Structure 1
Amino acid sequence: MMLHIPEVLSKQQVLEFRKLLEDEKLWVNGKISAGAQAQHIKNNLQVDVQHDVYQSISTQILAALKQNLLVQSAGLPKHILQPMLNCYQDSGNYGNHVDNAVQFSSLTGQMIRTDVSMTVFLSEPDEYEGGELIVEDNYGCHEVKLDAGDVILYPATSLHRVEPVTSGKRIAAFTWMQSMVKDDWQRTTLFNLDMTIIKLRQQLGDSEEVLSLTHHYHNLLRQWGDL
């Protein structure tokens, strides 16, 4: 499932982060975090994870993701990795790739499985040309270019790329989560059921039928969930 989640960050938060990221000394070659294969196709900049500015921004973005109800419902996160920050400019791009299946979490000191990828856009679409995130799945290629503060959530198993940025700067945060529910189809089913329950509660309150659906939701999560 791909899901556009609007306004995970406020415009004021984005503005504050962007001001902090104007310092060119923060940025390092993005290849340093890439594997041997990805180094040949990754052309971007990333914020040095040892810098205090990185720690401040990343922690705030992580908190916003954890507090967002749609992120919680769609991803059912067990762990979310500390977000990183990147910048594409001067024809910077990232060719077709699949994210590593397992990554180290600095928050837990453990390896986690990456089930869901998330990109948090920090540049407005009219600030740069190109730079579309292209995600491929069984239904074709999906082009993503969102407002600053919005998030795209999609299966980490997807083949994806970032098109060359031909003018301006595309700044974003990105991270991954290990979900309590490994299977994307099961996560999608639970998300759709959860959204239906919420809408019915708004219309009918806690009716017998709504309570019955809620009962089924939690039993499915109990069956499919890996805690």
Structure 2
Amino acid sequence: MFPEQMYTIIPGALDEATCDRLINSFGDELDDGGLVQGQSASHIRRSKITWFNESQEPVVTRCITDMVAEANRNVFDFSLSEFAEDAQIACYSGDQRGHYDWHSDVGASDIARRRKLTLVIQLSEPDQYEGGLLQLNPGGHIIDAPMERGTAILFPSFVLHRVAPTTAGLRYSLTQWVHGTPFR
């Protein structure tokens, strides 16, 4: 795969009202997201996170399902089978220099080994925070994800990516992983 095939961008994946509703509905439920493999690791990740499932947000879940199906059909052609994890909402605060250092979303646990695609949707307006860029590093080519509210980016879960330090304001995002048989 060439770097330009390592991601796809979907402008307007969620409308402003939906972005507002997600932030307002789940913003009070955010807990420390600084754990990495069960260990406190604020030098690697500093954020607040919460989760939601299909029963809590059926319209958003249907939208995500349709986006993933089309992107996979047109760009990736991976063997996908399910959403084995709930969607995550994250908040990166400038007061805390919120960040998530370079990592991939494929891990050692059974569920993380089966992650094939990562979907991230920008929930905040770009003028609500400074820094906090989502950056991908497919094959040594750093790509800044779009900051426009409601825009989605999908990429293979094995691609290195990070959220650069947030220096002011609050950056909210939604992340959903799509699963299948592990890559071989």
Offset of residue 181 of structure 1: 9.8
Aligned partner of 2:45 in structure 1 is: 42
Q: TM-score, normalised by structure 2?
A: 0.78
Query: Is the alpha carbon distance of 1:146 and 1:180 closer, same or farther for their aligned partners in structure 2, counting shifts above 3 Å?
Result: farther
Name which structure has the greater RCO, CA cutoff 8 Å, separation 6+.
Answer: 2
Q: Which protein is bigger by CA-based radius of gyration?
A: 1
Deviates more, 1:85-94 or 1:59-68: 59-68
Aligned partner of 2:101 in structure 1 is: 95
Structure 1: how far apart are the matches of 2:109 and 2:147? 26
Q: Could you list the runs of 5+ residues in structure 2 that have no partner in the other structure?
A: 1-5
Offset of residue 70 of structure 1: 3.0
The number of equivalent residue pairs is 170
Query: Is the alpha carbon distance of 1:72 and 1:59 closer, same or farther for their aligned partners in structure 2, counting shifts above 3 Å?
Result: farther
SS of the residue aligned with 1:138?
Answer: helix
Asked if the contact 2:89/2:172 (under 8 Å) is kept, the reply is yes
Q: TM-score, normalised by structure 1?
A: 0.64
- CA RMSD in angstroms comes to 2.7
Structure 2: how far apart are the matches of 1:113 and 1:181? 5
Asked if the contact 1:116/1:153 (under 8 Å) is kept, the reply is yes
Percent sequence identity over matched residues?
24
Offset of residue 20 of structure 1: 1.8
Going by fraction, where is helix more abundant, 1 or 2? 1
Aligned partner of 1:169 in structure 2 is: 170
Q: Deviations over 1:72-91 (max 9, x none)?
A: 42455321232111100121
Offset of residue 165 of structure 1: 0.7
Structure 2: how far apart are the matches of 1:128 and 1:161? 16
Aligned partner of 2:81 in structure 1 is: 78
Q: Deviations over 1:148-193 (max 9, x none)?
A: 221111121112111111111110111211257958xxxxxxxxxx
